[in-house]
Structures are given as C-alpha cells and as structure tokens.
Amino acid sequence: MATAQKLPKIINGVNVTDLFTTIDAIKATPAIAKFKFRIHNQWSGASQNRSTVDNFHGAGRELSRAKPFVLEADEPAVLLGKDAAANPVEHLLHALASCLTTSMVYHAAARGIQLEEVESSFEGDLDLRGFLDLDKNVRNGYQGVRVNFKIKADVADEQLQEIVELGTGHSPVFDCLTSGVPVSVKVERI
C-alpha cells in the first residue's frame, strides 16, 4: 500500500515546509547561505540605462534565470529625461518596498501569521543642489524616506507594528540603506 505524501504547508503564498527545509539545510551547511547577485548595465544615451539581471551565485553554485530580466531607467522630462522608465531613486524605493514586504511576509508565514493584504507607500526627499554640486552641505541622495504600510490580518492592532518590524528587522535592502554598505568602484577602458 502506497503512503500518502505530506502536503506542503502554505501561508501567505509561502511554502513554509520548504522554508524550514531551507533553514535546516543552511544550519547544516552554512556555506550555502552565501549569495552573490549581479547586474550588467548599459548606458543608452542621455539619462537612459538598461540593466540585465541573469546569473548569480547561490547555494554553493552558479545559477541563471530561465529568462533574463531587463530593468529600464530614465528621468522625468523636468530632469531632462524622456520619462521612458522610473528613475534610479524610484528604483531604490521599489527595491526597499519589495524587500520590506517580502521579508515581512516570509517571516510572518514562518510564525504562522496569515496576512490577507499588504499595501505600502514610499516617499523620499531629494535636493538636487547636492547632485548638481551647488551646495556641499546637501547630500546627493535621499535626506529621508517615509514608509506607510496598510495590513489586513486577523491580529490585534498592537501586533500590526510587530509584523512590520519583521520586515525592517530582516530586509537586506533596509539594512543596506540604514546601516550602509561598502561599495568599491573601479574603471577600465572598453
């Protein structure tokens, strides 16, 4: 008589069974936790750029996507672009939004917390005087970012903040932005 296979436990669309299998594998072999993500960028003219996302290193080996992703960037017309795509600082807000949300959803799922809906809005303040080198006291990047989450879940009101903190406490992008990360830059001729 055949034995029935155990169905995976799914919470928030996350296969929690596989999540804990992955956690156990990393505990047993910590080296597989190291990942290296890459993009290749090509300038298209004026303020337009195109980045291709494909190969990465993870789980102890080189991996590639079934189909590479292409990310476009441009500037709005008021910043001399053609407004053909989100600009780089908008991409940064998207990276922060998606990473905070994914981190929150995964960690809530691991704790058995069912989320019905998650929405968020992000707003960042930028002063062009830094970018244009008009004022040395004005930074080039965002001076501040405000995040607002709306969550529908069957939990007490005070637990909503705890759910958001699962995102801020575990998001790699949030960590990079709030703690800084070393960036090395080199140049060579084409």
Show the domain range for 166.
86-179
Say whether pLDDT at 165 is over 80.
Answer: yes
In the chain, % of residues over pLDDT 70: 98
Do 90 and 175 have their domain in common? yes
Number of domains in the chain: 2
Say whether pLDDT at 169 is over 60.
Answer: yes
Do 61 and 97 have their domain in common? no
Do 103 and 156 have their domain in common? yes
> Is residue 15 classed exposed, middle or buried when 0-12, 13-18 and 19+ CB atoms within 10 A define those classes?
middle
Is residue 59 classed as helix, strand or coil in its secondary structure?
coil
Name residue, tokens 């155990």: 6
Q: Is 135 within a domain? A: yes
Q: Which of 4-18, 101-115, 145-159, 175-189 is the least confident region?
A: 4-18
Residue 50 φ/ψ, nearest 5 degrees: -135, 125
Residue 6: per-residue pLDDT? 80
Q: Is 57 within a domain? A: yes
Average pLDDT over residues 158-176: 97
Residue 139: per-residue pLDDT? 96
Do 91 and 25 have their domain in common? no
Q: What is the pTM of this model?
A: 0.93
Which tokens hold the place of 43? 């300038």
Average pLDDT over residues 23-32: 97
Residue 16: per-residue pLDDT? 97
pLDDT tens-place string over residues 84-96: 999 999 999 999 9
Q: Is 12 within a domain? A: no
Name residue, tokens 């903040």: 161
Do 42 and 76 have their domain in common? yes
Q: What is the CATH number of the domain that holds 56?
A: 3.30.300.20
Q: Taking the alpha carbons of 124, 129, 131, 137 in that order, is the dihedral positive or negative?
A: negative
Measured CA to CA, the distance from residue 139 to residue 131 in angstroms comes to 8
pLDDT tens-place string over residues 1-11: 566 678 899 99
Do 81 and 94 have their domain in common? no
Residue 2: per-residue pLDDT? 61
Do 78 and 125 have their domain in common? no
pLDDT tens-place string over residues 38-86: 999 999 999 999 999 999 999 999 999 999 999 999 999 999 999 999 9
